[in-house]
Amino acid sequence: MSITCELWFAFSWLLDQLPKLCPVNRATDLTVLKERFESPSLRNPKGRSDLPGIDVFVSTADPEKEPPLVTANTMLSILAVNYPVEKLACYLSDDGGSLLTFEALAETASFAKVWVPFCRKHEIEPRNPEAYFSQTRDFLKNKVRHDFVRERRRVKREYDEFKVRINSLPDSIRRRSDAYNAHEELRAKKKQEEMGASLSEPLKVPKATWMSDGSHWPGTWSSAENEHSRGDHAGIIQAMLAPPNSEPVMGTEANENGLINTTTVDIRLPMLVYVSREKRPGYDHNKKAGAMNALVRTSAIMSNGPFILNLDCDHYVYNSQALREGMCFMQDSGGDRVCFVQFPQRFEGIDPNDRYANHNLVFFDVTMRAMDGLQGPMYVGTGCIFRRTALYGFNPPRATEHRGWLGRRKIKLFLRKPTMGKKTDRVVEAGNNDEEEEDNDIESSSLLPKKFGNSAILAASIPVAEYQGRLLQDLSGVHQGRPAGSLAVPREPLDASTVAEAISVISCFYEEKTEWGRRVGWIYGSVTEDVVTGYRMHNRGWRSVYCVTKKDAFRGTAPINLTDRLHQVLRWATGSVEIFFSRNNALFASRRMKLLQRVAYFNAGMYPFTSIFLLVYCILPAVSLFSGQFIVQSLNVAFLIFLLVITITLCLLALLEIKWSGITLHEWWRNEQFWVIGGTSAHPAAVLQGLLKVIAGVDISFTLTSKTANDENDDEFAELYMVKWSFLMVPPITIMMVNMIAMAVGFVRTVYSEFPRWSKLLGGSFFSFWVLCHLYPFAKGLMGRRGKMPTIVFVWSGLISIVLSLMWVYISPPAGSEYMNF
Ligand SMILES: O=c1ccn([C@@H]2O[C@H](COP(=O)(O)OP(=O)(O)O[C@H]3O[C@H](CO)[C@@H](O)[C@H](O)[C@H]3O)[C@@H](O)[C@H]2O)c(=O)[nH]1
Ligand SMILES: [Mn+2]
């Protein structure tokens, strides 16, 4: 007895050591760097910062599904971020090409003039007004300024008005357009009469969508016309906020609206640009990846920040210090080999019970952290700071050097001869691996058009971005860094010719015969473009960093409705199948990728296929109950030991995951359940879809994950209870039914048998019960809101089950029983 006790203590001690054995937090001492961030020596006398610039990319696709208010709040949280203003440039890509998004962004720009200084002055967190004003905790905590309450009240009021303006936009755009259209029609009619044409001929005036300045909106019209419909419109770029002055500008007693006193605050705002790339029928626009690539080029011309932050429209900056935190990794020694810093995705508005494992904690706190120890986490599509040169498809400096456990030892080092004494060879080492052997020299201009397309300005911006992304020269062990102060120079002003060039690079044929989407930028060909894009970089030898901040860096929304969630998982799994059947399958990885990293990526492409075994696993217990036979003929010792070992391993694995990452058992269990739910519905469907694509070339559509602006709902989680029928639900329902019936059959059989063997029944139904446990959240989801689902449904399902089971017993009575006389 005491021995078991001691053993148990030893075991739990070991468990407690686990987190220490594999430390979650990295060893880099960021405090030194943080001091540097603040140090006055990094600023020139005029107060300009020496930090590298960051271009922020936000994508939105459809104002119907992605409410403009959500996007507006995201943009505001970015505009107010804590990073030198003159070094930030914000881009919104509008794949819908809708005037609604455009005007909402214009409103955002003007509200930002109030919001951003307010945030800076009173250190508001989070800097997303919707989130800030709906916080329930005491907003006066730690606030000592006397003018805070008054100014907060004013800004709150201003925000409310802003919100109403945004809400009324669809209506006001429609009314304006109707008025203009009626006017146009009248004019056309008059003209027709003057010309003396017969009135029988119907006159045709296109129903345009009008901008407030009385001109046609060049993008998508609400009543689609040629050249003005979804997937058929011109490219649009509009700078909503001009690039800021390079020196701080303090505000006045009461700013323009007389709202707040900004004499002590820098009131400059970062540049803000609206971009809607050109779309034409017959061109593949490559969804989000295509949108991002258009932004990469536009921003190269307009601001050329050496770093790029990517956010989805439904994710916002929750911690305004996050960019600095992330940039520390880029600027720390060794940071020159980091291609991106990924932050975990955290979500809001999810039911407290997290029924469908929306938080994905096992992925974000176990898998990603573990990958951080290999060569770095995957890119997960949002909340990620990239190095521009890594996106351009260049190799990392010292790419062939990494070594270590299961890593590759230094094998060959091809150093290119220095090009004319310029400092480029650090990014230039050619790999020794087949297809990456291509020319990787930033300045070999002959190859640039083939790779990056025909913009000379874009080509010229590349080495500049590379230089600006370098480490500081005086950091220990840095060769060819940049001297301190080299970035504290004013930015060139934006002129019309620059914008014209930026428009030319978002034309839909710009990417033709270039390597965009193949080796450069976001990679095409998978609906989970994010995984592939990150993979390509790791494959070149870049490292990435997982930056888990104490206070969430970014927060977003996730679908809490069962159907939406299943469709999201379906999209991800389909993307994985696409990757599996492409050349981005980790089986073909280059030797620069560590073995375990390769295994991780291979798993990312292969996991949907495991659903086939999962399906079998869920049906087997029922089959054994039906047939009255256990899955193995006889229970021998070898089998039992095997079973025991597997079970113990699984339990230990679970314990390890939980202990190491600090997630709760509940969260872990939710993930486990949803793994079964997804694995029996979305994953097999994805495998089928993927096979169809590979074999028959059927294309896969990117269904946007629906977002909810849950302000009008009386019930915060009303979404959760909505039941929208989907074919994906068939397999799990079948599995549930079959298992329940099987349990009933087993029960009936035992009751009516001459020598009831209850223990056998118990053993048999345990596995069925286990399967049902996993599917429980799914069943709950099907039922909708408690009470709404009529009891009759339960009665019917119960009846059907009993009838079916009785039938089964009647048809195939257990051997040796003569009791069938009912
Ligand atoms: O044609 C398109 C389709 C989508 N998007 C944008 O892509 C983002 C992601 O779409 P969403 O429907 O929100 O997908 P989620 O399931 O929430 O996204 C996760 O999974 C995607 C890959 O499947 C990644 O791209 C996302 O970054 C990641 O958050 C949104 O900002 C969209 O506006 C576009 O810009 N153009
Ligand atoms: Mn999303």
Residue numbers belonging to the annotated binding site for UDP-alpha-D-glucose: 59, 65-66, 95, 287
Residue numbers belonging to the annotated binding site for Mn(2+): 288, 312
* pLDDT above 70 coverage of the chain, percent: 79
Catalytic residue among 50, 232, 530, 552: 530
Query: How many Å lie between the centroid of ligand 1 and the Cα of residue 288?
Result: 6
Q: What are the pLDDT digits (tens) for 211-255?
A: 999 999 999 999 888 899 999 999 999 999 999 988 888 888 765
Angle between helices 287-302 and 529-539 (to 10 degrees): 60
Beta bridge partners of 235: none
Query: How many Å lie between the centroid of ligand 2 and the Cα of residue 818?
Result: 61
Cβ–Cβ < 8 Å for 93, 276: yes
Residue nearest to atom 9 of ligand 1 (CA): 312
Residue with tokens 């007004």: 129
- Asked if residue 578 has pLDDT above 70, the reply is yes
> Which residues' Cβ are closer than 6 Å to ligand 1?
59-61, 66, 93, 95, 287-288, 291, 312-314, 381-382, 527-528, 530, 568, 571-572, 575, 702, 704-705
Mutate to test the pocket of ligand 1, among 293, 363, 704, 707 (most ligand atoms within 8 A of CB): 704
- Asked if residue 418 has pLDDT above 70, the reply is no
How much is the pLDDT for 175? 96
How much is the pLDDT for 686? 94
Q: ipTM, 2 decimals?
A: 0.96
Q: CA torsion 664→667→670→671, rounded to 10°?
A: -100
Report which secondary-structure segment, H or E, holds 307: strand 307-312
Whole-number average pLDDT of the chain: 83
* Residue 530 annotated to the active site: yes
How much is the pLDDT for 797? 64
Query: Which ligand 1 atom sits nearest the alpha carbon of residue 382?
Result: 27
Q: 818: pLDDT confidence band, cut at 50, 70 and 90?
A: very low
Cβ–Cβ < 8 Å for 399, 431: yes
Q: Is 207 exposed, middle or buried (0-12, 13-18, 19+ CB in 10 A)?
A: middle
- Asked if residue 819 has pLDDT above 90, the reply is no
Closest to 327 (Cα-Cα) out of 305, 304, 303: 305
Residue nearest to atom 22 of ligand 1 (CA): 528
How much is the pLDDT for 419? 38
- Asked if residue 488 has pLDDT above 90, the reply is no
Query: How many Å lie between the centroid of ligand 2 and the Cα of residue 556?
Result: 7
Query: How many Å lie between the centroid of ligand 2 and the Cα of residue 312?
Result: 6
Query: Which ligand 1 atom sits nearest the alpha carbon of residue 704?
Result: 12
Going by the DSSP 8-state scheme, the letter that residue 349 receives in this structure is S
Query: Which ligand 1 atom sits nearest the alpha carbon of residue 575?
Result: 23
Residue nearest to atom 33 of ligand 1 (CA): 60
Q: Does the predicted model carry a pTM greater than 0.90?
A: no
**Which ligand is nearest to the Cα of residue 74, counting in written order?**
1
Cβ–Cβ < 8 Å for 458, 315: no
Give the Cα separation of 254 and 263 in Å (integer). 8
Collapsing DSSP states into helix, strand and coil, what is residue 194? helix
How much is the pLDDT for 723? 74
- Side chain identity, residue 819: Y
Q: What are the pLDDT digits (tens) for 102-156?
A: 999 999 999 999 999 999 999 998 999 999 999 988 888 888 888 899 999 999 9
Residue with tokens 């301190």: 484
Query: How many Å lie between the centroid of ligand 2 and the Cα of residue 314?
Result: 6
- Asked if residue 434 has pLDDT above 60, the reply is no
How much is the pLDDT for 744? 85
Buried b (16+ CB within 10 A) or exposed e, 582-619: eebebeebbbbbbebbbebbbebbbbbbebeebbebbb
Q: What is the mean pLDDT of residues 741-768?
A: 82
Query: Which ligand 1 atom sits nearest the alpha carbon of residue 702?
Result: 3
Give the Cα separation of 278 and 614 in Å (integer). 44
3-state secondary structure 565-624: HHHHHHHHHHHHHHHHCCCCCHHHCCCCCCHHHHHHHHHHHHHHHHHHHHHHHHHHHHHH
Query: How many Å lie between the centroid of ligand 2 and the Cα of residue 71?
Result: 12
Residue nearest to atom 11 of ligand 1 (CA): 705
Give the Cα separation of 132 and 479 in Å (integer). 45
CA atoms within 13 A on the CB side of 493: 3
Catalytic residue among 55, 94, 95, 354: 95
How much is the pLDDT for 433? 40
